[in-house]
Structure 1
Amino acid sequence: MDTDVLFEGKLDLTFGQIYLMSGDTDWPDFDDSRRGQANGICGAAEPGRLLLFTGLHTGYVELRIERLERPPVLDDDWEDIVEVPFEPQAPAIRVHGLDGSQYTDFSLPVGSYRARYSATGMDEGKAVDVVPEDEPVVDRYLLQFWPAEAAPDAVIKQTSAVATRWHEEWR
């Protein structure tokens, strides 16, 4: 399967939030981004935006973003997995953590995508609370995009207490 790695590395954040915005869209809204969804860790209810939640409150998480040609195989290494529809409003995409100084820009052609957000270590991240830049990351995340018709969001795998709490809050 052809995979384009759009970003891979540490991302700094606060309040356990990562923002993804396409084109000139505004920041995702904390509540509106998840309104009407089954999952609570990847808000996709606002066009061209995603709001991703982490276990860690402040500091650095590991994030990898990929563009694929077809749906990926489920990987048992991930503890929590959700899927959402995503349609970028423009090819230019920006990702950053809330209050983070680091921005990551990449391109994703305009079209209809399915996005899979996978997480591992969310509970450990919440327990640690803060990870400075010079410390090893505790929680890791993978965001994958592939062409697909729009379909409702879905919880594929739910293991951590953090993800369970967010899912229950938004159902």
Structure 2
Amino acid sequence: MKTLFNGRLWVHYGQAYVVSGPVFDYDLEASFRGQSNGLCGASSPSLLFLITGLHTGHVNFSVQFSDAEPPLDWAWEDVVEVSSTMVNRPFLKEWAGQVSYPIDLAPGTYRVRYAARGMDSARAVDTIVETEEPIDTYQLSFWPAEGEAPDRVVRQESQTAAYWNGWANSLHPTS
């Protein structure tokens, strides 16, 4: 597995994004409409809308690439998978696109696994200042896919993930 990003990522409103298209659309509902998971929205073209437990502050974040589906690491409390097509080389973006990190990933269709640990602890704290250590940790893993497949919730241990997954399921598919 190749590491494409590993570090701290600033989030606000519990949001971060991967963007590969020319338009950066912040529409939360549109990003999750029609999905069963509420952590990694892939319903909008060229965008992954990522939810974190922490409202505001830094989270630990890594992006990985593998030539094939990586084994599932059960140390992660919450895990979801989506399909996504990258139309250009993507960028990992902090809240509202204020800071971008290039991700060395070729255009194409990928299966994506978003894994989280510490969401409930971070949600309980809500906000951390610049000098505090991150509470929650996330890993986004990409591997090539032949085509699109439905999203799925692989593991749900936190109340935060349960809330967001329930919210995504409540969205009317055509609203």
Normalising by the residue count of structure 1, what TM-score does the alignment of the two structures yield? 0.94
Which residue identity does 1:143 align to in structure 2?
Answer: L
Distance in 1 of aligned mates of 2:97 and 2:103: 17
Deviation at 1:73, TM superposition (A): 0.6
SS in 2 for 1:87: strand
CA apart distance, 1:147: 0.5
Number of the residue aligned with 2:12: 14
Contact 1:62 1:140 in 2 (8 A): yes
- Runs of 4+ displaced beyond 6 Å: none
Task: Tell me: CA distance 1:146–1:120, structure 2 relative to 1, closer, same or farther (3 Å).
Answer: same
- CA offset digits 1:49-79 (Å, max 9, x no partner): 0000000000000000011101011111100
1:139 aligned partner: 136
Aligned to 1:67: 65
- What is residue 112 of structure 2 aligned with on the other side? 115
Matched residue count: 168
Residues 26, 96 of structure 2: 8 Å contact kept: no
**What CA distance in whole angstroms lies between the structure 2 residues aligned with 1:95 and 1:27?**
14
Q: Which residue of 2 aligns with 1:49?
A: 47
Unaligned runs of 5+ in 2: 170-175
SS in 1 for 2:157: coil
1:65 aligned partner, one-letter code: V
Give per-residue Cα distances to partners, 1:91-116, cap 9 Å, x unaligned. Answer: 2x111221474321123111110000
- Corresponding position: 1:169 with 2:167: yes
Conserved 8 A contact 2:10-2:59 = yes
Q: Is the 8 A contact 1:28 1:50 kept in 2?
A: no
Deviates more, 1:76-85 or 1:28-37: 28-37
Does the 8 A contact of 2:19 with 2:93 survive in 1? Answer: no
Tell me, in whole angstroms, the C-alpha distance in 1 between the residues paired with 2:105 and 2:122: 29
Q: What's the counterpart of residue 106 of structure 1?
A: 103
Cα displacement (A) at 1:23? 3.4
Q: Which residue of 2 aligns with 1:77?
A: 75
Counting helix residues as a fraction of each chain, which structure ranks higher? 2
3-state SS of paired residue (1:32) = helix
